[in-house]
Structure 1
């Protein structure tokens, strides 16, 4: 069965995967890994982009 397109636009830079957890290689005292959570700079971690006509510019 075909999937219907969503009405929201997915970010072209991150393809909708807006945040990533990156391990640093270090470990906490309990043995778990130290991770950094990084957000996509283009969509600021939302995973979606607004259509060009909706973006507000200026004051």
Structure 2
């Protein structure tokens, strides 16, 4: 059976990769690099955006 995909659109700012690890360039005493985890501020770490509401014309 095919899997159904979510109907929510992917965030246009992070392209679905909401949390990334950025190396700072400094090394820790064990030799590994120090990293920072940063979340996308547009989707707040979900990777998806809510669709914009549809405008409805009223009146004439």
- When the two structures are superposed, what TM-score results if normalisation uses the length of structure 2? 0.71
Please list every run of at least 4 consecutive aligned residues from structure 1 whose deviation after the TM superposition is greater than 4 angstroms.
none
Cα RMSD for the two superposed structures: 1.6
**Highest CA radius of gyration, 1 or 2?**
2
State the aligned residue count: 50
SS class of match (2:36)? strand
SS class of match (1:48)? coil
Structure 1: state its 5+ residue gaps: 54-59
Structure 2: state its 5+ residue gaps: 54-60
